[in-house]
Amino acid sequence: MLNPLLLMSLLIAFSPLPAVAAVAAAQLTELETRWLQAGKPVIDYARTQGLPIDIIVQPQDAPGAVPLALGYEGGRCKLVLSLRGNAQADSVLQGVPAAGRGLMIEAMTAHEIGHCRRYAQGDWHALPRGFVEPRSVQRGQLTPLARELRETRREEGYADLVALAWMHGRHPGQYRDVLAWMRGVRADGDGAGGSHATQGWLALADGAGAFDGAVSPFEQAQVLWRMGLSGDK
């Protein structure tokens, strides 16, 4: 996630990308255009669902920044690309064949849209309605740091499941590849119990019939997310 106060950059209204490219051709790099093109189907879908999304491309070098992140400000989601001078833009896709990189970028975009949905619905850091936390892991028994890590990890788990539900519905033939890549990214992350340790939810997404295409990716993710919450301490 990105601190909304840091969103000082080139704001692009994300109309169909050819129009954006025509307006901002002098500003956008080839790499930025590829990332925007890969994520466009997700953005288009999210907007049909009423999500308020702005696209921001950082015009300055951003070494070490998360290549694709989300902030929330003024009731709108800010999807931020930080690709210039940023080695992480390559490292996050390390080992992925060139032909498959667009799929992984699409999955990353769907992950961030999962965050946007939670913000826009007013559900950020909130448990599903009707869910009762086991007494052994209730909020008051955690230190503030442990509580913050758990709440962030849970949001990351939900967003990972939205990404997987999206990819399962749109690219079923490549779903296993996307899931394997996401598992690799999480395995290289901050370890068990960390803010991005979503392996428990990824395991649930590995089962047959994990996702039901009859409902939206957000609703599909909610089902598995709720199941995983019971074991997330």
- pLDDT tens-digit series, residues 36-70: 999 999 999 999 999 999 999 999 999 999 999 99
Under 8 Å between Cβ of 56 and 32 = no
Under 8 Å between Cβ of 53 and 11 = no
Under 8 Å between Cβ of 83 and 56 = no
* Sheet containing 10-12: order of strands: 10-12, 53-57, 76-81, 68-73
Query: Rounded CA gap, 102 and 122, in Å?
Result: 31
For residue 12, pLDDT beyond 60: no
Find residue 70's DSSP bridge partners. 79
Confidence of residue 232 (pLDDT cuts 50, 70, 90): confident
For residue 104, pLDDT beyond 50: yes
For residue 93, pLDDT beyond 90: yes
Query: Rounded CA gap, 111 and 158, in Å?
Result: 8
Find residue 79's DSSP bridge partners. 55, 70
What six digits make up the tokens of 174?
């490549």
Query: Rounded CA gap, 207 and 147, in Å?
Result: 29
For residue 119, pLDDT beyond 80: yes
Per-residue confidence (pLDDT) for residue 219, from 0 to 100: 96
Going by the DSSP 8-state scheme, the letter that residue 11 receives in this structure is E
Per-residue confidence (pLDDT) for residue 139, from 0 to 100: 54
Per-residue confidence (pLDDT) for residue 216, from 0 to 100: 96
Element (H, E) at 219: helix 217-229
